[in-house]
Structure 1
Amino acid sequence: MASNPDIPCGPCAYERNTNVAMKWCSHCEEGFCTDCEKSHRSLKLTRDHKMIAIEDYLKIQDVSFDLTCKTHGKNLDLFCKYHGVAMCAVCVPSAHKTCQADDIISIDDAAENAKSSAALTELEVKISRSLEHVRSCIKNRLSTSMKIDTDDQMIKETIKETRMKLNKQLDALEEKLLLELKLKHEKYKAKHSKFLKKLEQTEKEFEKIKEQIQQMKLFASDLQVFLGTCQMDKSTMEKIALLEAELGKERNYAIEMKLNSVVRSLMNDVKQFGEIHITETNADLQLKDPMISQAQIQVREAMRNIDDINLHLKLEFDIQEHITGCLIISDGRIFIASCWTTGELMEYDEIGNYVRTVQTPSSPYDLTEIDTDRIAVTYPNVSRIEILNIKENTVETKIECKGRCYGISQHSGKIFTIVKELGILMIDLNGTILETFNIDISSVFYITATEDKFYYTVPGVHTVKCCNFEGKEIRVFENRSLKYPGGITVDSNQNVYVSGGRSHNIILIQHDEKQSKVVLSKLSTPRAICYNKTNNLILLSYTIGFTSDRVALYQVSSENTY
């Protein structure tokens, strides 16, 4: 193994020796020579430390990780789940005093399995999509630049064609017009070239970040990956914001010439061969980032207190089906599952227009979003879950459940589903069953999952039960305002919305279960319900006839957000 003179052995340097490091300890953040590495591994306190080759360390050396609090200079040893930030102990009373006690966890717990975390996956998706948008912008600019060249060539041909019919005395006017064309063409072509270089530089920067993420996943520690994800996400958002500002200023230019109408008949009176005009329009280039904005964070903060939460009807449309599951994904598309009537999975657009019927192997009961391109669907009649790629119209994963599966919910890469013959299953996105919770679900059909717990409704006893991820029941909610609860969903603040089939209402339960209130009433047998966290929307269905249901879409807002 080749040594690197730039990385000295830390313990040897302390003893004022100059040995070269052969390994790097990700925990201690220093290099070790062969002898010091053996000593390091032999100690009980350090034998579990991750050691990587110096060559591998150099691959992630440029990826910066702040391990100390920039405000207080202390170690980042805590994490706030609500705000999604790492912090030191001093930050808690100063900046997080209103956060719930269970929102504050140790950084080690937060960083566990960071390489397979949803945050890292989201960052990779964000980088990939940003690269995709940048490349699209580059393609657009190249096409526009070529259009300017085409316009230029067409004008030249028009000039030549006209010039052949004119007297030689027009030579001077031709030269003047060609000069004007050349100057304006070069000027506006230069504008495109300058911005094109900026886009190509941005592409290289995103490529570099993407490569760093891959190296970080392979060779950095969980803590480094976690902190790197947080910090690189921030810098990526800043790059995106800067690029969006530049894109908003960019303009399209089209060159055209207005030929003098009397050139042919009044050659001797014409003082100018023609005019070069530039048509300027907005380039309409945008970077569409799928992640949550600062404004959405402010709305989320305002809606922690359920007293101020209100629902405003945006859309209603009727379907000649009895709906068992509904979903509104992040880009606004609506999916409806009907298990008991036609047994179809249908897609509608954001204003309620029918788009298509998705081909399924059996009658779908419930569905949940994985990301904007993928959803997971349960099929009780064939005891199966499928992860569908709704962009490519393909089945990515088939999960055999060995029992009739009904309600389903996904959170942070974990799928929770109700299987009548088994209980409640926790499954990863590869289809591996992680846990089987032996819970009596004989009359249970719907479930929803959140940060560290899941909720399910028990219609027969008019209750909502809450369990942790070990399957231990931690709370039971029951209220005389809620009768025969069915569909259940959770918002970004872990507030829970439940449909009351026989109380004909929607109940909102605060995240700590200390308060609840009726947010919708006088509904005819509401059933399926879904919360879209990206846009704070609620989609629900309720019966309006013997063979038909109504789908309603509501905007969720707080008085404090206006």
Structure 2
Amino acid sequence: MATCTSFCGPCSERHSTKQSKHWCSECEEGICDDCQEHHKVLKATRSHILIPIAEYKSLPSFITDSQQSCTYHNEKYQQYCVAHALPICFKCIKEHQKCRVITLDEVTNNAKTSGQLKDLETRLMELLQNIDKIKKDRKANLKNIEERKELHLAQIQQIKNQINKHLDKLEKEIIQDLEKKEHQCKKSIHNILSSVEEKKNLIAEYQTNPQSIKQYASNLQTFLVTRDIEVKVFENEQYLQSLIETNQIEQVDLVIKVDPKVISILNSLKNFGSIEIKTLSSRIRLIRAKDKQAQLQVTPTKTIKDLKLILQKKITTDCENITGCCMSVNGEYFFIDYYLRRRLTGFASDGTFEYDMLLSPSYGFDITFIDEKTIAITSGDSNEHIGIDVIDTESRRKTKFINLPGRPYGITRDHDSLFVCVERRGITMATCTSFCGPCSERHSTKQSKHWCSECEEGICDDCQEHHKVLKATRSHILIPIAEYKSLPSFITDIQQSCTYHNEKYQQYCVAHALPICFKCIKEHQKCRVITLDEVTNNAKTSGQLKDLETRLMELLQNIDKIKKDRKANMKNIEERKELHLAQIQQIKNQINKHLDKLEKEIIQDLEKKKSINAKEYS
């Protein structure tokens, strides 16, 4: 790690970088060996004392952090205000005109040899000794308190009646059993509630956006998102049905069975009773407008545990400090050679070197792709060029620059947004939809005002006119960019281009139920393939979308019923628990009352026998 003390201050002023070997406390900067000689002989600095840089770095922070310059005027302290006991600079004199002011030398000359420093050392030593004494005394007092506590606990324990001890033990055991069974019941119910709440949130998002789909999504997006939602709806319908079939939402109750021996002989008591979980048939009947005959085949999703990393290729570069890399859809590789070289290095898909591009004044720290031919590079530690360079990889030119409020480092892209780690700001988002796509192609930067779902790019007001009249785009529907940004992610994230070939979907494979591009046709030669228009033309007006809205509404209603039922069951369990606790306490009180009666009777009998004996001997 490089710090501000690592480099020579005078050399840095000459735009040169040299390691500092000494530190000047007066100048508050590092000095290299060459500059040391000048520092010793210059009139302004010849009286300054230099120390090895290693010794300076080993000093405690309360010394190195001490400010020798005025925090208000950024000038060296030169005088001392006796009235306020403060060092001041020459600009501060205005606020201290009525004070007694002396030169700083009068105060500091004997600072190291004065009795004040010796007195301070003595007082510090005394403070440490006093603190140690207080700690020792408090620890001894703490130990004494613990010992007295243990003694009194032992006395209390000794006094306790053995029979009451036995009853307390039985009471504790059955209460623990009651708590355990209650926790078991509530945990099961909580798990169901948590699961259905999570599913409700997902379904609610889908259910509240059909109008957005109809109004703003393209036919292809509508078709794809409808199909995805239908899969989710089917999965959740099956899940709710499985809760019924597997008895997971049966009514749960707590029942106490008191041991008959509790009310008989005390010595025969083995336990207070037992807690049982009693289940009743579920009272829930799910709302189903109709039972679906055709069921979608749901492919099991893969988890991170199913993935394995395989080394495919090694690339050798002459870069000195690689801090970022990325790969294009065509397999090209791009590396950032950071700080000193400040360059972008490109390699072909086979690993052969193609070109270097200078990034200066940007240092170039991290890189990510915006689209198949555009990359974004953060400027890193650069002070004069703070932001993101957007570069066209085909023309190898910078097309735009995005200013940021702090020095940016790591960067990644998620659909239409760039996420950047900005110094002192944290993660900052810059949207790719903010700029007009056609203008960017002309290496111009304009704010987009509209969004075309077919072209999947922003359009400015000027380009909107051409977009409306061009034959290829006149049928496209434009929406305000603000409305596009407010759409839920499950709509905007729908891909309308092939992820393998980066071409627009144009056809539909009926056998695999997949949209495909013209390059995919090789893998689907034996399948029945139709045009995408045949599938998507009626996507917004078909009964399928209406049916989906109904099923989503039914799902939400069923989830609310399950939640209401589970919460009622939970409340019933808590009420039953309180009832059983009261029963346990009542039985214990009856036994204690009976023991008190027996104790009183035997004491009376003892007194009676004692009185009889006394009369006999009198």
The two structures have a TM-score, normalised by structure 1, of 0.27
Q: More helix by proportion, 1 or 2? A: 2
Identify which of structures 1 and 2 has the higher relative contact order when contacts are C-alpha pairs closer than 8 Å and 6+ apart. 2
The two structures have a TM-score, normalised by structure 2, of 0.25
